[in-house]
Structure 1
């Protein structure tokens, strides 16, 4: 049903998640990030509340391993959940419930972790993590490359219909929050196209928020 990659950029400290699913609007339920704290992907019969719960544990000073260890006590149905965690230093942890669906695999990499369920093959996650580790560019570029590598390695056992990319940096809101909530086919390619369009504008939107006097004009009525 779902595969995802969480990662950190060692140069900027940015944290990010890219995720896809056979279900609609995966970006509404599964990626959870908090600047300066960490990122959590909660998937496989998702309980969205696990995202904020695990982030709260990280913010209290627990390690990712300790935070994921708290999942069974927090969620009586934790056996159905799959959770990956990265903290602001790049430490990771993975929780796979005993009733995670289908072909299940997860891998902790360098400043990243990948996980999936209902996969076509375990090689999907191996390829995803390797692509993240070996791709250059911005964190979002590396996350997108990882998702494309996962699809090239077989992706899910069934069709993928939604995808999302979310990144946090120094400000309190996501600096990237792009979603394909439903596509009959290939939402990851559509997500990559969204990122290509958004990349050159990202800094402009940050400038608009932080110092409107320095913001560029977009030439629309009232925007001078």
Structure 2
């Protein structure tokens, strides 16, 4: 009922999973991850507590292969499908003998794709090829695989939700919780495309791409990003118009005054000064 990809980035050590399904809020059901411990995909009719249990096994020193073998021997989980990845890039997967057709998994170097109730046998090979061929960082490569799976047919029942979760390969600390990305589309007619839009929006926030944010941020904040984008371009008139639009919104004048020391707004002030 689901297709997913788990992988490790050999450059950064980050671990991630991307998943889509024709169920509500697949991000609540399938992916489980912990910085410095690993990533797990639990699919089909697996027990809901299996994901945390597998992560606990990794934390206790078990290998992905050992954990998957133990899960495969659980008679009550005949419709189970699991994949496990650790911070060293070791990966293992299993598709239970009772899993829904078309079902299966494919292992690669530090990655695995898996799915059940797929529209065609080409879904998983297409995902593996796309991940291997993709460029960019881990979230982009995971999304490339998920997109290829959807383009090859995806879930035979249709589409509803998708999720993207990336964590650090190192344990969390007080200064860094280790979660690099946690995006979910819980109910959509085009969940994979919507997930990519969220990824692009998060990238824009991280990289201060104010031109993008001026178009796609929440409507109430677009004037702010339009002012910042105009400041980056050296567009005095554009910055002034955007700031005037912000001041016309209830409460924004007080907010602007409170943010007077913000380095980003200082650039706008210098431009208008």
Give the TM-score normalised by structure 2.
0.72
Corresponding residue SS for 1:70: helix
Q: Which residue of 2 aligns with 1:49?
A: 49
Structure 1, unmatched stretches of 5+, are 205-216
Aligned pair 1:83/2:82, yes or no?
yes
Corresponding residue SS for 1:106: strand
Which is bigger in relative contact order (C-alpha 8 A, separation at least 6)?
Answer: 1
Q: Which residue of 1 aligns with 2:212?
A: none
Deviation of 1:172 after TM superposition, in Å, equals 3.0
Corresponding residue SS for 1:32: strand
Deviation of 1:96 after TM superposition, in Å, equals 1.1
Deviation of 1:203 after TM superposition, in Å, equals 7.2
Larger Rg belongs to: 2
Moved more, 121-130 or 75-84: 75-84
Structure 1 outlier segments of 4+, above 6 Å: 217-220
CA contact (8 A) 2:20 2:26 kept: yes
Deviation of 1:201 after TM superposition, in Å, equals 2.5
User: In the TM superposition, what whole-angstrom CA distance separates every residue of 1:183-218 from its partner, at most 9, and x where no partner exists?
Assistant: 1x21100000000000132478xxxxxxxxxxxx98
CA separation of 1:177 and 1:203: change in aligned 2, threshold 3 A:
farther
Corresponding residue SS for 1:43: strand
Structure 2, unmatched stretches of 5+, are 171-175, 209-223, 229-251, 263-273
Give the TM-score normalised by structure 1.
0.87
Bigger fraction of residues in helix = 2
Aligned pair 1:199/2:203, yes or no?
yes
Question: Take 2:119 and 2:128, find their aligned partners in 1: how far apart are those partners?
Answer: 16
RMSD: 2.1
Query: What is the aligned length?
Result: 210
Deviation of 1:25 after TM superposition, in Å, equals 0.2
Pairs within 5 Å for 1:65-214: 65-72=65-72, 77-169=76-168, 170=170, 171-183=176-188, 185-202=189-206
CA contact (8 A) 2:72 2:96 kept: no
CA contact (8 A) 1:29 1:46 kept: no
